[in-house]
Amino acid sequence: VLKHLRHLNFTNNMGEQVDFDEFGDLVGNYSIINWHLSPEDGSVVFEEVGHYNVYAKKGERLFINENKILWSGFSKEVPFSNCSRDCLPGTRKGIIEGEPTCCFECVDCPDGEYSDETDASACDKCPEDYWSNENHTSCIPKQIEFLSWTEPFGIALTLFAVLGIFLTSFVLGVFTKFRNTPIVKATNRELSYLLLFSLLCCFSSSLFFIGEPQNWTCRLRQPAFGISFVLCISCILVKTNRVLLVFEAKIPTSLHRKWWGLNLQFLLVFLCTFVQIVICVIWLYTAPPSSYRNHELEDEIIFITCHEGSLMALGFLIGYTCLLAAICFFFAFKSRKLPENFNEAKFITFSMLIFFIVWISFIPAYASTYGKFVSAVEVIAILAASFGLLACIFFNKVYIILFKPSRNTIEEVRCSTAAHAFKVAARATLRRSNVSRKRSNSLGGSTGSTPSSSISSKSNHEDPFPLPASAERQRQQQRGCKQKVSFGSGTVTLSLSFEEPQKNAMANRNAKRRNSLEAQNSDDSLMRHRALLPLQ
């Protein structure tokens, strides 16, 4: 038909020429008629409201006078002729069951999808790093989260780490300045320096957990933390074990001194630390940690974290550290009654308890958190354990060095050591006397001697020439000390004197006589003390 229409022309019954163009379209003019209802009798009236002229210029062919148009015979408002309205951007057309396809409902696009056109039949999914906006009309970049330097939590952790570095540096400076004092020497000065250096590394390693994770920071932070803590605990372990073995030896020989020399101590620290280094090297070689963008935890947030590569390797790293801490705790608890000038066993025990509490609570906290809070939990654990070690081991010594210099003397160290030896000897004598008393009771003999009769170093001589109180205190500070040892059956007073050169000799005859009497009593006490030492 189209082929014949292109060549067809005729005259209609109204005398008008009808032609078709090459496209088969009718060439002619049209009148646009609107049906009106007559207000008089309700009949239909045909009203011309416009025309269409095919011979006019393009854009001017159609003319409609909208003011003359009446809808439904009387209304000026265009009626809604569809069963559903248009769907706005952010929504899509949804099929209504049992209705024609032209009837639909507008359904909001789900999260992560968008539509930017009207009457969209489907919503488009946003790219991986993007998320739909509130109206679902476009996609916006996802929020990126990590433990940042600028957020309040990150700033607080950074300040605590810097505070730990400052306090450790201050303690190291105090120990360096007073390195020749008895307190510093008695705490194994060289290992104390290494211990403070390892604490500096512990506080510094916590800073690698703050900031946007990169591949190099992920591979550095766990080994730095593990090696620093093992170095720290190895120093404490060697210090404690050395003093314990020396004090438990019956007679310290040159073999003990050679065996526990400074070079061997550093060798043991190196060997303990080397095991941790091997664990870290194997970890980094087989399954190195890397930066990871996690899209699964929350839809609209990307968490940048470190993928540890191997949780088993992390478990070995922390487990080996805790094993050394347990051994250190055992030796510290065993040597808790040694002279505190030589061994801070009581404080080491507390520090190890704090260490265990921190890392035992770390495991469930680490497993139950996600995102940036994983790094925050580990930073808190590192800082808490480091502060516990620093405070328990060093703050008491710094307090004595700076505010109690009278206790930082060789006499105090000697008195503490001699008192410990006297206590051990007294306990041994007490055990022997109890055994003898039981044997004598079983044989019907007399009871054994009591500790107060067999161990007594307090002179019964009254001083015929008393000195003033101030002179007496000065004399005691110059010549010796007194220690009281308490047992279940009473209290024994131990008086010790040390041969020190007297700069200001007493010119008074009565004072000379008093000094000679006290020297005799002190010599008797020292002889008793030396006689009791083999009883250990």
Check which CATH number belongs to the domain holding 56 and give it.
3.40.50.2300
Identify whether 375 is part of a domain.
Answer: yes
Which range, 6-15, 227-236, 443-452, 480-489, is most confident? 227-236
Give SS3 for 317: helix
Q: CA 530 to CA 4: how far, in whole Å?
A: 140
What one-character DSSP code corresponds to residue 142? P
290 burial class (0-12, 13-18, 19+ CB within 10 angstroms)? Answer: middle
At 185 the pLDDT is 80
Q: Do 129 and 161 fall into the same domain?
A: no
Please tell me the least confidently modeled range out of 75-89, 196-210, 332-346. 332-346
Identify whether 36 is part of a domain.
Answer: yes
Identify whether 226 is part of a domain.
Answer: yes
User: Is the pTM of the predicted complex or chain greater than 0.85?
Assistant: no
Average pLDDT, the chain: 75
Q: Do 278 and 321 fall into the same domain?
A: yes
Q: Do 199 and 60 fall into the same domain?
A: no
Q: Do 134 and 248 fall into the same domain?
A: no
Q: Do 266 and 410 fall into the same domain?
A: yes
Q: What's the number of domains the chain is made of? A: 3
At 423 the pLDDT is 63
At 456 the pLDDT is 39
Identify whether 388 is part of a domain.
Answer: yes
Q: Do 21 and 114 fall into the same domain?
A: no
pLDDT interval class at 166 (50, 70, 90): very high
Identify whether 24 is part of a domain.
Answer: yes
- Whether the CB-CB separation of 199 and 167 falls below 8 Å is answered with no
Identify whether 113 is part of a domain.
Answer: yes
Please tell me the least confidently modeled range out of 1-10, 199-208, 483-492, 497-506. 497-506
3: containing domain: 1-68
Q: Do 205 and 275 fall into the same domain?
A: yes
pLDDT interval class at 336 (50, 70, 90): low
List, in sequence order, the alpha helices (H) in 69-214: 152-177, 182-186, 189-205
Is residue 70's pLDDT more than 90? no
Q: Which residue has the higher pLDDT, 331 or 34?
A: 34
Identify whether 333 is part of a domain.
Answer: yes
At 475 the pLDDT is 44
pLDDT interval class at 532 (50, 70, 90): very low
pLDDT in tens, 198-243: 999 999 999 999 988 888 988 898 899 899 999 999 988 888 777 6
Q: What's CA 233's distance to the chain center, in Å?
A: 18
Closest CA to 181 of 412, 344, 335, 345: 412
At 339 the pLDDT is 54
Q: Which helix (H) or strand (E) holds 531?
A: helix 509-532
Is residue 522's pLDDT more than 60? no
What average pLDDT does range 351-362 have in this prediction?
A: 85
Q: Do 52 and 187 fall into the same domain?
A: no
Among 417, 452, 477, give the residue marking a domain's end: 417
Closest CA to 412 of 483, 331, 508: 483
Q: Residue for token digits 């020497």?
A: 185
CATH number where 314 lies: 1.20.1070.10
What is the token pair recorded at 242?
A: 């050395």
Please tell me the least confidently modeled range out of 180-189, 220-229, 387-396, 412-421. 412-421
Q: Do 297 and 349 fall into the same domain?
A: yes
Q: Do 103 and 168 fall into the same domain?
A: no
Among 107, 122, 141, give the residue marking a domain's end: 141
Q: Residue for token digits 């069963």?
A: 83
Q: Count each helix (H run) and each strand (E run) in the chain, helices first.
A: 15, 17
pLDDT interval class at 274 (50, 70, 90): very high
Identify whether 208 is part of a domain.
Answer: yes
Q: Do 192 and 290 fall into the same domain?
A: yes
Q: Do 169 and 242 fall into the same domain?
A: yes
What average pLDDT does range 123-133 have in this prediction?
A: 88
Among 68, 103, 120, give the residue marking a domain's end: 68
Q: Residue for token digits 């004092």?
A: 181
Which range, 118-122, 226-230, 372-376, is most confident? 226-230
Q: CA 351 to CA 331: how far, in whole Å?
A: 13
At 405 the pLDDT is 81
91-95 and 139-141 beta bridge pairing? unpaired
